[in-house]
């Protein structure tokens, strides 16, 4: 960041008074520009023991498979974000059951939250950000073609919990490769 988004003046990267971390601070108006992690929200949505996956039509990881997920918008709850993203990416209507996995990815300033959910009906199609959408049985999941490590981790834990017949809540941290 070079300029203040309030007044347009230059900024310095300093530790503000009564703070402990360096921030971009406007040299003219003193506004502190806080940058915090972005929240990505998605859903493991099932229909008849099959999981809804989308093949990405956007970067990063164009052409790879993922759970329907995306950045949370201001003014919505995390559950609303999961429902919206599933509809945007897979044109599917879901019922959200419960939070399932929280993955902190500090080196890219993101937190991924995945819910468990169910499709209201087996009606889905590729949205603007998907090349294709499919309901896949566990043995059909393209593990080598999953877009993100957080998705693979979530699916592994989901399938293990489903096999045990008891869903828990999982938390993990992913570092750089």
User: What CATH code is carried by the domain that includes residue 100?
Assistant: 3.90.79.10
Phi, psi of 35 (to 5 degrees): -120, 120
Token pair belonging to 114 = 């995945």
Residue pair 123/92 in contact by the 8 Å Cβ criterion: yes
**DSSP secondary structure of 125-169:** ---TTEEEEEEE-GGG--GGGBS-HHHHHHHHHHHHHHHHT----
Query: Same domain for 45 and 3?
Result: no
Query: Same domain for 27 and 89?
Result: no
Query: Same domain for 30 and 55?
Result: no
Q: ∠ at Cα 157 (86, 63), nearest 5°?
A: 45
Q: How many domains does the chain have?
A: 2
Half-sphere exposure of 65 (CA within 13 A, CB side): 17
What does the pLDDT read at residue 34?
93
Query: Same domain for 10 and 72?
Result: no
Query: Same domain for 22 and 43?
Result: no
Query: Same domain for 115 and 59?
Result: yes
Residue pair 88/126 in contact by the 8 Å Cβ criterion: no
Residue pair 53/65 in contact by the 8 Å Cβ criterion: yes
Query: Same domain for 57 and 102?
Result: yes
What does the pLDDT read at residue 70?
98
Token pair belonging to 152 = 């693979």
What does the pLDDT read at residue 24?
97
What does the pLDDT read at residue 49?
97
Query: Same domain for 152 and 69?
Result: yes
Range of the domain at 57: 38-173
What does the pLDDT read at residue 162?
98
Domain of 6, CATH number, reads: 2.20.70.10
Query: Same domain for 80 and 25?
Result: no
Query: Same domain for 58 and 20?
Result: no
At residue 100, the 3 state secondary structure works out as strand
Query: Same domain for 23 and 97?
Result: no
Q: What is the pLDDT along the chain (177 residues), one digit of tens a residue?
A: 999 999 999 999 999 999 999 999 999 999 999 999 999 999 999 999 999 999 999 999 999 999 999 999 999 999 999 999 999 999 999 999 999 999 999 999 999 999 999 999 999 999 999 999 999 999 999 999 999 999 999 999 999 999 999 999 999 999 998
Query: Same domain for 69 and 119?
Result: yes
**Whole-number Å distance between alpha carbons of 144 and 62:** 14
């Amino acid at each position: 960041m070079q300029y203040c988004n309030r007044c347009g003046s230059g900024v310095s990267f300093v530790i503000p008074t009564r703070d402990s971390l360096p921030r971009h601070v406007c040299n003219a108006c003193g506004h502190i520009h806080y940058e915090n992690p972005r929240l990505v929200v998605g859903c493991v949505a099932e229909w008849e023991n099959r999981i809804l996956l989308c093949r990405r039509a956007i970067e990063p990881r164009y052409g790879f498979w993922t759970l329907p997920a995306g950045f949370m918008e201001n003014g919505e709850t995390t559950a609303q974000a999961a429902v919206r993203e599933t509809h945007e990416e897979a044109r599917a209507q879901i019922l959200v059951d419960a939070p399932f996995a929280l993955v902190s990815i500090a080196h890219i300033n993101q937190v991924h939250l995945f819910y468990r959910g169910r499709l209201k009906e087996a009606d889905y199609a590729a949205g603007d950000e998907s090349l294709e959408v499919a309901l896949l049985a566990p043995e059909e999941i393209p593990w080598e073609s999953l877009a993100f490590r957080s998705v693979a981790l979530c699916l592994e834990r989901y399938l293990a919990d489903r096999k045990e017949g008891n869903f828990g809540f999982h938390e993990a941290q992913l570092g750089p490769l």
